[in-house]
Amino acid sequence: MRRTIKVKIKNNALRRTIDQYFEAYKFCIEMGYNLQISSKRKIHDATYREIRKRWPGIPSALVQTVRDVACENLWAVRLKIKPIPKNKFIRYDKRTFEFRRKDNLVSLSTIEGRKKIPVRIPEYFKKYLDWNCKSAVATLRGNQLWLSLIMEANTPQKLQNKIYLGIDRGINNIAVTSDNKFYNSKKLREVKGKYQHKKAILQSKGTSSARRRLKRLSGKEKRFVRNLNHCLSKEVALKDFGNFCLEDLHIKKEKKLGKKFNKKLGNWSYGQFQQFLDYKLEEQGKNLILVDPSYTSQRCSVCGHIENSNRQNNRFRCKSCGFELNADLNASRNIAYLGKSEIGRLPVIQPIVSPVKTDTSLLALAIGR
Ligand SMILES: [Zn+2]
């Protein structure tokens, strides 16, 4: 399994290297696209000499990674477009990069030789420090250089735990789990409301200082939500279950299941919760299962009867057997049932696309998606 530690760095030689590297990248893309080739061998033959001639300062090991990224990106878009990312970048591998944890620094190849650059690892990432680190990506965003350290560890063996937990995500409750736990969103709504109020005032002012404060405020709000998602996903992931079932929100959105819910999606980062939960489960050898969200709120979790009018606001009352329960809790039990039954399970488990877990090729980072 992989995690990314992202840190800010400063170095002028790296800045100059990133400029040249990106030019060389665009050159590879141009050649690959024009000749309609994406194999490493062919792109190498078509570009290597020219790159060495035009940008003689780029170390040859970096010329190889530039070609590799270009090939992967061209292949990913099937040579239909020229994949040029928004941000300039450099991919580093073990020949061009070293992370020295003890000294809190990285050593990177640049056009001016190896440079040792200090890094400060944020508290939250420190738990990944004993993982392996063989590659990294430097990016220039705006005027800031970032370094993403790719940390790797063996994925733990799957637990032989066949117990299923259903998790319903909603509006009144951030989450309700089928073991009868409610995580209400009162605090979240309070804080969100406070921020929205402040933001509205600042927006109406429209001065440049108001805009600056607005930016700071949304940064603060994001961090609050992020922290809440961390705490919540941590607590849920530690529960003694082997399989954690969630509704697939992409389907939920597509099928327009609940307009309110869609609106809410913008406010509260359900996707982030899922991503955090996914990481935490993976580290413990537990499973995340996504299920089809159809009828989860209309189905009776006792007799299986499905009827729209079974649900009245927060109350679920079965028209067939008379079973009564909190509507979100009933839904969470249906979600657990679907995860277990495999009928409602989606054929392919599709975690939220994240650059952190899917970046074997670092494509997401490199194309800036
Ligand atoms: Zn019933």
Q: Quick one: pLDDT at residue 244?
A: 96
Percent of the chain with pLDDT over 90: 64
Output the CA angle 18-22-25, nearest 5 degrees. Answer: 140
Q: Quick one: pLDDT at residue 171?
A: 79
How many A from CA of 299 to the centre of ligand 1? 8
**91 secondary structure, DSSP code:** E
**In this model, does residue 357 exceed pLDDT 90?**
no
pLDDT in tens, 166-186: 999 887 888 999 999 999 888
- Contact, 24 vs 55, CB < 8 A? yes
Output the CA angle 213-120-361, nearest 5 degrees. Answer: 95
How many A from CA of 243 to the centre of ligand 1? 25
**In this model, does residue 162 exceed pLDDT 90?**
no
Sign, CA dihedral 282-3-141-65, equals negative
> Considering only 11-15, 50-54, 129-133, 188-192, which range has the smallest mean pLDDT?
188-192
How many A from CA of 318 to the centre of ligand 1? 5
Measure the CA–CA gap between 240 and 161, rounded to whole angstroms: 9
Strands 164-168 and 173-177 turn out to be antiparallel
Measure the CA–CA gap between 40 and 199, rounded to whole angstroms: 50
pLDDT in tens, 278-337: 999 999 999 999 998 889 999 999 999 999 999 988 899 999 999 999 999 999 999 999
| Chain-centroid distance, C-alpha 216 | 23
**In this model, does residue 261 exceed pLDDT 70?**
no
Measure the CA–CA gap between 319 and 299, rounded to whole angstroms: 10
How many A from CA of 7 to the centre of ligand 1? 53
Strands in 311-312's sheet, in edge-to-edge order, are: 311-312, 315-317, 324-326
How many A from CA of 301 to the centre of ligand 1? 7
Strands 181-184 and 105-110 turn out to be unpaired
Per-residue pLDDT, averaged over 143-162, amounts to 92
Q: Quick one: pLDDT at residue 365?
A: 45
Please report, as a single letter, which amino acid is at residue 258. G
pTM over cut 0.75: yes
- What's the mean per-residue pLDDT of the chain? 87
> Considering only 127-136, 234-243, 253-262, 327-336, which range has the smallest mean pLDDT?
253-262
Q: Quick one: pLDDT at residue 356?
A: 37
Phi then psi for 121, rounded to 5 degrees?
-85, 120
How many A from CA of 306 to the centre of ligand 1? 8
**In this model, does residue 265 exceed pLDDT 70?**
no
How many A from CA of 289 to the centre of ligand 1? 25
**In this model, does residue 364 exceed pLDDT 80?**
no
| Chain-centroid distance, C-alpha 207 | 34
Which one, of 250, 264, 281, lies nearest residue 353 by Cα?
A: 250
Count the neighbouring beta carbons within 10 Å of the beta carbon of residue 300: 24
pLDDT in tens, 2-44: 999 999 999 999 999 999 999 999 999 999 999 999 999 999 9
- Location of structure tokens 């800031």: 144
Count the neighbouring beta carbons within 10 Å of the beta carbon of residue 103: 11
Strands in 88-92's sheet, in edge-to-edge order, are: 2-9, 144-152, 132-141, 88-92
Measure the CA–CA gap between 360 and 76, rounded to whole angstroms: 13
**In this model, does residue 352 exceed pLDDT 50?**
no
**351 secondary structure, DSSP code:** P
Strands 2-9 and 144-152 turn out to be antiparallel
Q: Which residues pair with 4 in a beta bridge?
A: 150
Report how far apart, in Å, the C-alpha atoms of 299 and of each of 208, 317, 327 are.
52, 10, 10
